[in-house]
Amino acid sequence: MSKVNNTKAKVMLSLLNFANDKLTAMKKLYRFILPVVLTLLVTSCGFQLRGDYLLAPELQTLYLSSVDKHGELTRLTRQHLVRNQITLADKFSQQTPELHILKDELDRRTLSVFPNGQVAEYELIYTVKYQLRFANEEIQSFKFEINRDYQDDPDIALAKSRELSLMLREMRQEAADKILRNMATIQR
């Protein structure tokens, strides 16, 4: 009887080992197949990471000008253009398209106040106006706004000041990115 139980135990143990080996093999297979399948699904739907924009051939070389030549938005836009292999002309010429940043301004509107009358929440409104000029054509003007809500707390003024500056930097980054996205939609 103990031999039969011993044999049953060995059979059960070998079945468990076999099942465990199969499970390990399946895990290895899933670790390989799952990323491949996900990559194929994502690329087949046309998904692309942002950053590289396909601009019209006429815009591969352009002159960047601004009311505030050393402003943060101008600097970020210049970086975005260079990152996208756009050649920036040093001097203005009639044959070279010109991207002219007219205005970038920050405005704020009160959304709520504390019971003591201090402002609790603002809506930050970052407005950008710019023009695109092509040789012997009308100037194309563009304007857009980026909005963010900002909660103020006078008890932690230093931290809120840092948060506000980070938020403004992010809004300017988004604005520079939006300028390039708008330029990528121009078909000539």
Q: Do 109 and 123 touch, CB atoms closer than 8 A?
A: yes
What percentage of the chain has pLDDT greater than the value 70? 84
For residue 5, what pLDDT is reported?
A: 67
For residue 170, what pLDDT is reported?
A: 94
> Helix or strand or coil: residue 111?
strand
Number of H helices, E strands in the chain: 3, 5
Report which of residues 92 and 16 the model is more confident about. 92
Q: Cβ of 184: how many Cβ atoms within 10 Å?
A: 15
Q: Cβ of 67: how many Cβ atoms within 10 Å?
A: 12
> Helix or strand or coil: residue 63?
strand
Counting other chains too, the contacts that 165-168 makes at CB distance below 8 Å and 24 or more residues apart are: 167/124, 168/106, 168/124, 168/126
Residue 23: exposed, middle, or buried by beta-carbon count in 10 A (0-12, 13-18, 19+)?
exposed
> Helix or strand or coil: residue 109?
strand
Per-residue pLDDT at 85 exceeds 80: yes
Q: What is the pLDDT of residues 143-174, one digit of tens each?
A: 999 999 988 877 787 878 898 899 999 999 99
For residue 173, what pLDDT is reported?
A: 95
- Angle at alpha carbon of residue 99, lines to 98 and 102, rounded to 5°: 125
**Residue 132 φ/ψ, nearest 5 degrees:** -125, 120
For residue 49, what pLDDT is reported?
A: 54
Q: Cβ of 139: how many Cβ atoms within 10 Å?
A: 10
Report which of residues 119 and 9 the model is more confident about. 119
Report which of residues 41 and 105 the model is more confident about. 105
The rounded distance, in Å, linking the Cα atoms of 124 and 106 is: 7
Mean pLDDT of the chain: 83
Q: What is the pLDDT of residues 9-61, one digit of tens each?
A: 676 767 667 667 776 777 766 777 777 777 777 777 665 555 566 777 788 88
Report which of residues 34 and 103 the model is more confident about. 103
Give the helix ranges, DSSP H, for 60-156.
Answer: 72-83
